[in-house]
Amino acid sequence: MEDSLVESFEEKFGFQPEVYSLSPGRINLIGEHTDYNLGYVLPSAIDLRVAFLASRRSDGIVRVWADSFNQEKRFSLKKDMDSKLGGWIDYIKGIYWILLKQGASLGGIDAYVWGNIPLESGLSSSAAFEVSIVNALDTLFGLNLSSLEMAKLAQKAENEFVGVNCGLMDQFISVFGRKNNAIFLDCETLEFEYIPLRLETEGLGILVCDTGVRRDLASSAYNVRRDEAAMALEKLGGDGIRTYKDITRTLLEKKKSDLGKIFYKRARHVVTENERVKQAVTALRRNDFHELGRLLFLSHESLRDDYQVSCPELELLYECGKSFPSCLGARMTGAGFGGSGIALIRKADFPSFKELLSGEAQKMGLIRPSFFDVEIGDGTQIRNKK
């Protein structure tokens, strides 16, 4: 892949790239909608990635070819950098915008973007894109950013320029991912621990099921859920409570009548999901994949009933997982409202599960899912520098 992308860059621009940045998407094993609530998450980087190849130019023009869209877009660093252009180019402009605001010395580039992460699939193509850009610009212009700075800058660009109020998890795992490991991350303190995923010892694998249902997070109910969770926490505040990690189920039940139905349900999901993440880490430390699977099912039920971010296609994945003998657990991953789910299954039974899910989707008149047998991979890296 590396050689072919370098060749594609050279065909497009007439010279070789100076830098080749490659960053992964992610699956979140468990811990959904807890990241922006400063709770616990357990994501892993995967071997679906975004590549960003670039070389410097001297005129302040940023010119980018996006392979997935068969499209070129550009902007000038000498013109209005505060305005959006619309579409994928805003992720690049947003990274430039935040770096320039922080005093970085940047120039124009010619760049080529390639990726094999399905867009709007809940596998964090946007974070992989952002991290690839940041890492490339850091290398090209000698910014000397730390790994954590790269993740935070990528998130800040998405929050403040693109307009999606995402937490830090996606960018963090795209930077810090490690092969055959999950990351147990405290999204408040940013303390983290690598947790080995010894799937092969049990003949297990993680099958990603892309429902094909697409949603634009910037205009979806994602920001509504975030606001609801924040307002529920405010009502629960006082007595030393700073985040949902400080709230027990007992306290939540005491405050139930004060919260009202919707805020109570949103808060209950976050409180119980934090508990499930810690339980999942304990299960993985003892290679108890049956317990992990049970927690995946419970997570999905909470996301469906309390956070209300499911859809028929994700429900079908859950139901098929429940009925399939060698599926230990299944749930939506990512923000919900569509996108993808994951299933923890015996690898030898992947074909049968795909057949079951596809057949049931067809019977119900739903979009037939796409499948990815993913491997757990490493975080962002510079693969090629001239």
**pLDDT tens digit string along 127-136?**
999 999 999 9
Contact 322, 297 (CB under 8 A): yes
Query: What's the whole-number mean pLDDT along residues 229-245?
Result: 90
Q: Which of 35, 110, 138, 170 is catalytic?
A: 170
Find the range with the poorest average confidence among 87-91, 235-239, 290-294, 362-366.
235-239
DSSP 221: T
Dump the DSSP string for 308-377.
----HHHHHHHHHHHHSTTEEEEEEESS-SSSEEEEEEEGGGHHHHHHHHHHHHHHHTPPPPEEEE--B-
Other CB atoms within 10 Å distance of the CB of residue 147: 14
- Report percent pLDDT > 90 for the chain: 88
Q: Residue range 108-115: average pLDDT? A: 97
pLDDT one-digit tens code per residue, 303-335: 999 999 999 999 999 999 999 999 999 999 988
Q: How far is CA 295 from the centre of its chain?
A: 20
DSSP state of 220: S
Q: Are 28 and 174 in contact (CB under 8 A)?
A: no
pLDDT (average), residues 25-49: 96
186 is catalytic: no
Reply yes or no on domain 200-373 having CATH 3.20.20.70: no
Residues 333-378 pLDDT 10s? 988 888 899 999 999 999 999 999 999 999 999 999 999 999 999 9
Say whether pLDDT at 60 is over 70: yes
Q: Which helix (H) or strand (E) holds 51?
A: strand 40-57
Q: Mean pLDDT for the chain?
A: 94
Residues 159, 163: Cα–Cα separation, whole Å: 5
Distance CA 145, CA 260 (A): 45
CA end-to-end distance (rounded Å), the chain: 17
- Cβ–Cβ contacts within 10 Å for residue 93, how many? 23
pLDDT value at residue 238: 74
Residue reference for tokens 């010119």: 63
Domain boundaries, the chain: 2-193+377-385, 200-373
Residue 298 tokens read as 């419970």
Beta-bridge partners for 111 = 54, 64
Please say if the pLDDT value at position 386 is more than 50.
Answer: no
Tell me whether strands 108-115 and 61-66 are parallel, antiparallel or unpaired.
parallel
**Tokens of residue 357, six digits:** 């899910």
Task: State which of 159-173, 242-256, 290-304 shows the largest mean pLDDT.
Answer: 290-304
* DSSP per-residue string spanning 242-260: -SGGG--HHHHHHTHHHH-
The structural architecture, per CATH, of the domain 2-193+377-385 is 2-Layer Sandwich (3.30)
How would residue 272 be classed by pLDDT, with cut points 50, 70 and 90? very high
Please count the other Cβ atoms lying within 10 Å of the Cβ belonging to residue 116: 15
